[in-house]
Each structure stands twice: as C-alpha cells, then as structure tokens.
Structure 1
Amino acid sequence: MITTVTLHAAIDRTLYVDKFGVGQVHRVNREVNEPGGKGNNVAKVIRQLGGQVTAAGIVAGNNGRFIESSLTERGIRTSFIQSAGESRVCLNILDNSSRSSTELLGLGPTMLEAEVEAMKNKVQELAIHSSVVVMSGSLPPGAPNTLYAELIRIVRSAGTRAFLDTGGAAFGVGLSAMPHFVKPNEQELAEWLGHMPRDVNEWARAARRLADQGIDEVCITLGSNGALAILNGKAYMAKPPFIQPVNTVGCGDAFVAGMAYAGERGDSAESRLRMAVAAAAANAMSSKAGDIDYDLFEEYEQQVQIITL
C-alpha cells in the first residue's frame, strides 16, 4: 500500500470564464470542485492507475469533510487528523479564450504544536503498513520547517521509502533526512541552487548534486520538456508526447503518483519514468487536477521517449 500525506489540504475550485481580465466582473460558465492539496492529487492518480492508497494529513471544518468524503467515494482510504477552522480553498481561473490559468492559493488553518505531534504519530502508524509514504506540498502556517525532515526519519525507521515533493526551506531541510525520492520542478530547484540552470547539462549536474547527498531517486520536472532523472546512479532524460494541454495544475502530482505506483510494482527505472511522464501528460488533458483518463494514459505511455544520458 502507498500512503500520501497532505498537511495543507484544500478544495481545488476551478472557475471557467470566457475572457479573464484584472479589475473586471466575470460570469463563470463552469465550476469544478475537487479534493485537493498535492498529496491528495497523488492519491487520486494512484487509485486511477490501479493502486491501493491511503490519504492522510490534516483537514478542517466543512471543507475538510468535503475533501475526505470525496476521496472516500473514489475508493481511497482516508486517515486524516481533524483540525479547527476550515481547510483552504484554492482557486484556479481558466480563461477559455487564451487557455491561460490564474491561481489563488488559500491560507488555511494554522497548525498547532499538538497537531505536529499527532501527525508524527499518524505517519509512524501508517508507515509500518506502507511500501511508500509520499509527502507533498507546502507546509501550513505554524508548521516548523523541520517537519518533513522529521517525518522522513520516521518513515525510514519503519523500513519504508519516503518520497518528498515540496519547495523552499522545507525542501532544503528535508534533504538532510535523505528521502528515497525527490521531485523539484524548475523553479524549486533554481531556488535551492540560487540560480536558474541554462541548459540540460546544468540541470543534470544539479540533479547529480542531489543524488550525491544520498538520495536514490532524483527527478527534475521540466514542464513540456519532460523530466531529467538520476535513478540509482544512472541519468535519464524522459521526453513526453506532444500535446496541447487543457490544464497543467496537478501534472507534477501525477508524475509522483506514477513513480510511486510503478516503484511499488518493482518496475525498471525506464518503466517508472515512462509511467510518470505519461500520467503527467494525461493529467494535462483533464480539466481537473489529479485526474487522468486511463485509455489516454496508456496511449501516451507508448509515446514517451527515455534517453540514457
């Protein structure tokens, strides 16, 4: 079983407008509400790929109840800690004319010290019965920057693989606990490096720096250019199929889902990358974050190119 941890869960609300303009009044012609937060998106795609998954983390209020019940309806086990207040709402405004996306990310409740300790206990309990524990997304207000590092150590002590997908200070501190897998995107890696790499060779050197810190699987997602990976010491470039994306929100989460599920099955490095990139591409063709059409995923899986560097 795979467990996902979402400390900053959300309702992902996507609003479609004909043409979005700042300072204007808009009439929404379509609205989609989904259980969100990066870890929950990972859980949804793992389930769609055929995996068994438990979604854990923190939820609050009526929004939290919607998140949990919506995941349960999809056949996902849930094991959330209940907090006071309301889980956040993240708005994604899609402009039908330009196909552009504008995101507004809610703040959410402050994480209390008692909830930090409860989350450690929860992860320890779940890690014992899991092959992989995926920790995704930003830390909520009040959470210490060391929290992911502490959770990674708990997961590793259970003999379970820890996946980390976050940015900022939490990413840098999390590396010190040596997770099995990390997936920074271009901006997150540039922030960690202190500059934006200029070409694929610089990206590869940056990935190697991460791997040299004791991380078995390093994947740098590069948007429409695919992903660069160091998997158990070998370097790969994964090229996605050519698509015209509908909505890119959640593509990184779908990538992580593919890596986690294929890894649990014991697939080869090339097969893991192929599944991850195809899942990300399929997510880009859905109006929802953390959602794939399985037939489309299978079609894309045949089109992904894996190049050994």
Structure 2
Amino acid sequence: MISTITLNPSIDQHIIVRNLVKDDANRAEAVFRYPGGKGINVSKVIRELGGHTRAYAIVGGFPGEFWKELVTKLDIPYFAASIQGDTRINTILTDLKDKSQTRISAPGPKVSENEIYRFLKNLLSVRPKPAFWALGGSLTPGMKRSTYRQFVLALQKGGVPCVLDTDDEALRLGVEASPFIIKPNEYEMERLMDRPLKSTGDYLKAARTLVDQGVRIVIVSLGKRGALFVTGKESFHVLTPKVAVKSKVGAGDSLLGGFLSGLYQKFSLKDAARLGVAASTSAVMREAPRLCLRSDIAGILRRVAIKDL
C-alpha cells in the first residue's frame, strides 16, 4: 500500500473555450471537475497502474464534501479529516485557438494548529502502516512553513519512508527532515539551491548535495528533457520520448506515482524510473483531468532511454 497526504486539496475546474476573448462573454466548450492536489494525483496514478493506494486529506465545507464524492467515484479509498474552512476551488482554462493553458490556484482555507495536530495524530495511528507516505503540494494560508518537516520527522520516526514534493520554504525546511525521496522540478530545484542551474551537470551537482544532506533519492523532473535520478550509489538521466503534448497538468505527479509503483513492486531503481517517465509521458498526451493511461505504458516503455551520469 502506498498512502498519500494532501494538506491543501482542491476541486479543480477545467474550462475549455474555443477562443478566449477578454472583456467579453465567453461560452465554454466543456467543463470538467475533479479532485485536485499532488497527493491525490499520485493516488490516481497508482490506482490507474493497478496498485493499491489510500488518500489522506484535510477538507471542509461544501467543496470538501464534493471532493470526497469525486474521490469515491474514482474508487480510491480515502480518509478526510474535517476542518471548519472551505476546501479551495482552482480553475484551469484551456484556449483551443492558441493551445494555451492558464491555471489559477486559490490559496485554500485557514487550518488551525489543533486541526493539523489531530490530522497528524490520525496518520500516526494508521494500521497496517503503508510502504510509503507521499506528501505533496502547497500549504494552506497560516500553516507554518515547517509543517512538512514536522510531518516527515514524525512519520519516518514511525518507520515509514516519506516522499516529499513541494516548493519554496516548505521544501527547504522539509529537506532538513531527510525525506527518503524528493522530486523538485527544474525551477523548484533552482529555488531550493538559491542559484541558477543551466546544464544537466548543474542539476546533477545540486542533487548530489541534497543526497549528502541525507535525502536517499533525488528526482529532478526536467520537462521534455526527462528526469534525473540521483542516489548515493548511482545517478542517471531518463530521456522522455517525443510525443504530442496536450496537457502538462499532473505530469510530475504521474512521474512520482509511476516511480513509487515500480519501487513497491521491487523493480530496480532504473526500471522504476523508466516506469515513472513512461507514466509522465502518457499524462502529457492526454487532456486533463486524465493523467496517465495504463494501456499507453507498454508502448512508451520501449521508447524510454537511460543515460548513466
């Protein structure tokens, strides 16, 4: 079982228009609503690939009830801790004319220290314990930037390796807890290192610095250039096959979900990485809300190349 944690989940409303005209009424071609957040996205991918997962989240208000309803429709087991505030609603706008995609993310509800404490206490009492805890996404307004650090320290003390996928100060402080895996993208890695990173060598050096600080596996997602995987013993670059890109929403979450699925099945590091990149590639071939598609994987895997570094 791979369990995921989403501290700031959302209802993602994806609106598709044929030609967006500013300052005018625009009619939608289609509207999709689905449960959002990095943690739940990872669970979606694991479920699609045939794995076992359970999603944990903090939700509130009518949007929170709707989030639970949507997760139930996906046949993903979940535990949702109730809070007083309303779960956020994000908007994704796709313009078919210029193929642009604009994402507007709401900040989320205020969550009290007591609500956070109760949620963490619930996580620590979960039995049987999962093989991995995957934590990810933004924090809600008012949450301490050290919240992920607090969660990783407590959960790993309980014997379960943690995977952290977040940004900015939350990631910087989270790294101090030595999570088992982190997965920054190229821009998040630059912010974490607080310096520009240009070449593959720059990203490799930065990843090795993080491994030296206690992170067991560092994954740096590089968009169409693939992803770097770095541990204390090996490092390699997984190259992404060229495909027609329809949506980039959830590509990084698909990478992580595929990689964890491989690790859970006792794949080698390279084979798990190859599965992760295949899942990410499948995701960009699909319009949101679809992430990866299981039937794509075998064909994509044959085209995924690995270069040792």
TM-score normalised by L of structure 2? 0.96
Gap change, CA 1:183 and 1:289, over 3 Å in 2:
farther
1:181 is matched with 181
C-alpha displacement of 1:289: 4.0
Moved over 6 A (4+): none
Whether 1:166 aligns to 2:172 is no
List per-residue Cα deviations over 1:8-60 (Å, max 9, x = no partner). Answer: 00011111111234444321111111111111111111100111111002011
C-alpha displacement of 1:127: 7.3
- For 2:69 and 2:22, locate their aligned partners in 1 and report how far apart those are by CA, in whole Å: 35
Instruction: Judge conservation of contact 1:8–1:140 (CA < 8 Å) in 2.
Output: yes
- Secondary structure of the residue aligned to 2:177 is coil
2:64 is matched with 64
Report matched runs for 1:241-256 at 5 Å. Answer: 241-256=241-256
2:152 is matched with 152
C-alpha displacement of 1:178: 0.3
2:137 is matched with 137
Letter in 2 for 1:145: R
Instruction: Judge conservation of contact 1:45–1:290 (CA < 8 Å) in 2.
Output: no
- For 1:231 and 1:155, locate their aligned partners in 2 and report how far apart those are by CA, in whole Å: 21
- For 2:78 and 2:230, locate their aligned partners in 1 and report how far apart those are by CA, in whole Å: 32
2:122 is matched with 122
List per-residue Cα deviations over 1:240-277 (Å, max 9, x = no partner). Answer: 11111111011111111112111111110111110111
- For 2:21 and 2:125, locate their aligned partners in 1 and report how far apart those are by CA, in whole Å: 48
- For 1:211 and 1:175, locate their aligned partners in 2 and report how far apart those are by CA, in whole Å: 10
- For 1:143 and 1:21, locate their aligned partners in 2 and report how far apart those are by CA, in whole Å: 37
Report matched runs for 1:282-297 at 5 Å. Answer: 282-289=282-289, 291-297=291-297
Gap change, CA 1:195 and 1:21, over 3 Å in 2:
farther
Gap change, CA 1:21 and 1:126, over 3 Å in 2:
farther
1:268 is matched with 268
Instruction: Judge conservation of contact 2:4–2:133 (CA < 8 Å) in 1.
Output: yes
Gap change, CA 1:223 and 1:127, over 3 Å in 2:
farther
Letter in 2 for 1:307: K
C-alpha displacement of 1:141: 1.0
- For 2:107 and 2:295, locate their aligned partners in 1 and report how far apart those are by CA, in whole Å: 36
Letter in 2 for 1:10: S
Report matched runs for 1:1-309 at 5 Å. Answer: 1-126=1-126, 129-289=129-289, 291-309=291-309
Gap change, CA 1:8 and 1:245, over 3 Å in 2:
same
C-alpha displacement of 1:297: 2.2
Instruction: Judge conservation of contact 1:211–1:233 (CA < 8 Å) in 2.
Output: no
Letter in 2 for 1:282: S
C-alpha displacement of 1:109: 0.9
Give the CA RMSD over aligned residues.
1.4
Instruction: Judge conservation of contact 2:135–2:162 (CA < 8 Å) in 1.
Output: yes
C-alpha displacement of 1:107: 2.0
Q: How many residues align?
A: 309
TM-score normalised by L of structure 1? 0.96
Letter in 1 for 2:7: L
List per-residue Cα deviations over 1:160-203 (Å, max 9, x = no partner). Answer: 11000000100000001000000001111111112221111111
C-alpha displacement of 1:159: 1.3
Letter in 1 for 2:264: E
- For 2:290 and 2:250, locate their aligned partners in 1 and report how far apart those are by CA, in whole Å: 5
C-alpha displacement of 1:153: 1.2
Instruction: Judge conservation of contact 1:123–1:154 (CA < 8 Å) in 2.
Output: no
User: Gapped runs of 5+ residues in structure 2?
Assistant: none
Gap change, CA 1:196 and 1:24, over 3 Å in 2:
farther
- For 1:189 and 1:47, locate their aligned partners in 2 and report how far apart those are by CA, in whole Å: 28
List per-residue Cα deviations over 1:197-240 (Å, max 9, x = no partner). Answer: 11111111111111111111100000111101103431110101
